[in-house]
Amino acid sequence: MTRYVEERRDAFGVEPICRTLGVPVSTHYARRSRKPSARELADRELLVEIEAARTGRRKVYGARKTWKELKRRGVEAGRDQVARVMREHGLVGKLRGSKKRTTIPDEAAAERARDLLQRDFAATRPDEKWVADITYVRTWQGFVYLAFILDCYSRMIVGWQLATHMRAELVVDALHTAQRTRGSLAGAIMHTDRGAQYTSNAFATACAAAGVRQSMSAVGSSADNAAAESFNATFKRETLQGRRHWATEREARLAAFQWLHRYNTVRRHSRLGQRSPIGYEAVHTTRSTTLAAAA
């Protein structure tokens, strides 16, 4: 973790990264200043051997096959040690896994908003049309969920939140982040699926307080929220880069934090004339493009 923070401190700053990971800044500096233990030195040497053993087609190997490959190469290491070092450095095998369901309709919801977009995601100005959804990445410790809000005008992620749960507060917190980013939200259309989080009283109350109009797609129709589904696919593909899992929740959070920052500020979009979302808004509007950090 210390090395990861140090490699990215110039881009993001130590405090924002530590806050995202839930680690005190003092802990980071304490770890950075101490000398590595004999175990850490041994782990570093083993990591070099593991990476050499997992080259080419063997990159799909998990801990068991990697351990056997190391034995074949004459490297003395216990299977548990190999598994631990791989887990700590996010090295996982190619595994099959079932898809996690994030859209769970709330049959008890009394009133649901109608579809105000009708699959028309074109917008003429910022904060005219938003789409929101929940996606996730797997870790060996469980799932990390990302609730996000995307502005259809610039494809900018104006609000987001990460958590290990899918309670309504997750999407409410993402909306509050959008408020800090954009200021007044009066008149914006918030288009979502009909998951329990978005049909909850808590989210409806937050939208009403912010002056946001709710819009919802039909049950089971991914095309009705295609802009959000497209972002989901891009997020998973570019953060995981062929992996199936992250080793820890902390690593998944940091990877998401880093990628979202890059997505808004650097990543070029063909629909935006090869500009980033923030670059596009800077050229075409006078709207604030300062992205607030998720709590």
Question: DSSP string spanning 13-46?
Answer: -HHHHHHHHT--HHHHHHHHHSPPPHHHHHHHHH
> What is the CATH number for 276?
3.30.420.10
**How far is residue 134 from each of residues 7, 91, 103, 109, 119, measured CA to CA in Å?**
29, 26, 8, 19, 19
What is the predicted pLDDT for the residue at 109?
46
pTM for this model (two decimals): 0.62
What is the predicted pLDDT for the residue at 28?
66
What is the predicted pLDDT for the residue at 221?
60
Question: Any residues with CB less than 8 A from the CB of 229 and at least 6 apart, and which?
Answer: 133, 222
Residues 136 and 57 in one domain: no
Position 232 confidence tier, pLDDT thresholds 50, 70, 90: confident
Q: How many domains does the chain have?
A: 2
Residues 147 and 26 in one domain: no
Question: Any residues with CB less than 8 A from the CB of 123 and at least 6 apart, and which?
Answer: 129, 151, 152, 153
Question: Any residues with CB less than 8 A from the CB of 129 and at least 6 apart, and which?
Answer: 117, 121, 122, 123, 151, 152, 153, 188, 189, 191
Strand partners, 269: 275
- Mean per-residue pLDDT, 78-85: 87
What is the predicted pLDDT for the residue at 285?
76
Last residue of a domain, one of 88, 106, 139: 88
How far apart, in whole angstroms, are the C-alpha atoms of residue 140 and residue 243?
12
- In the block, tokens 């996730």 appear at 136
Higher pLDDT, 104 or 13: 13
What is the predicted pLDDT for the residue at 110?
39
Residue 103 lies in a domain: no
What is the predicted pLDDT for the residue at 72?
85
Residue 94 lies in a domain: no
- Mean per-residue pLDDT, 259-268: 92
Give the tens place of pLDDT for each residue, 197-229. Answer: 999 999 999 999 999 999 998 765 667 778 888
Residues 151 and 256 in one domain: yes
Residues 73 and 185 in one domain: no
Residues 40 and 169 in one domain: no
Residue 232 lies in a domain: yes
Residues 27 and 154 in one domain: no
Last residue of a domain, one of 28, 58, 88: 88
Three-state secondary-structure class, residue 266: coil
What is the predicted pLDDT for the residue at 130?
94
Residues 33 and 169 in one domain: no
State yes or no: pLDDT of 91 exceeds 80: no
- Pick the range with the lowest mean pLDDT from 95-99, 121-125, 145-149, 231-235: 95-99
Residues 76 and 164 in one domain: no
Position 295 confidence tier, pLDDT thresholds 50, 70, 90: very low
Question: Any residues with CB less than 8 A from the CB of 59 and at least 6 apart, and which?
Answer: 242
Residue 101 lies in a domain: no
- Domain residues for the domain of 151 are 129-284
Question: Any residues with CB less than 8 A from the CB of 256 and at least 6 apart, and which?
Answer: 137, 144, 146, 162, 235, 239
Contact 161, 294 (CB under 8 A): yes
**How far is residue 99 from each of residues 91, 104, 148, 240, measured CA to CA in Å?**
21, 13, 19, 15
What is the predicted pLDDT for the residue at 108?
46
Position 6 confidence tier, pLDDT thresholds 50, 70, 90: low
Residue 121 lies in a domain: no
Residue 56 lies in a domain: yes
Contact 127, 281 (CB under 8 A): no
How far apart, in whole angstroms, are the C-alpha atoms of residue 138 and residue 179?
29
Q: Taking all residues of the chain, what is their mean pLDDT, rounded to a whole number?
A: 82
Residues 169 and 268 in one domain: yes
What is the predicted pLDDT for the residue at 177?
93
Residue 56: exposure state from Cβ atoms within 10 A (0-12, 13-18, ≥19): exposed
How far apart, in whole angstroms, are the C-alpha atoms of residue 166 and residue 149?
15
What is the predicted pLDDT for the residue at 157?
95
What is the predicted pLDDT for the residue at 286?
64
DSSP string, 159-199: EEEEES---HHHHHHHHHHHHHHHS--TT-EEEE--BTTTS
State yes or no: pLDDT of 40 exceeds 90: no
What is the predicted pLDDT for the residue at 265?
93
Contact 214, 122 (CB under 8 A): no
Last residue of a domain, one of 88, 104, 121: 88
Residues 145 and 225 in one domain: yes
State yes or no: pLDDT of 34 exceeds 80: no
- Pick the range with the lowest mean pLDDT from 101-105, 159-163, 277-281: 101-105
Residues 140 and 278 in one domain: yes
Strand ranges, E, within the chain: 129-139, 142-151, 157-163, 189-192, 213-216
Residue 190 lies in a domain: yes
Contact 259, 125 (CB under 8 A): no
Residue 104 lies in a domain: no
- Mean per-residue pLDDT, 134-139: 89
Residues 280 and 157 in one domain: yes
How far apart, in whole angstroms, are the C-alpha atoms of residue 20 and residue 29?
16
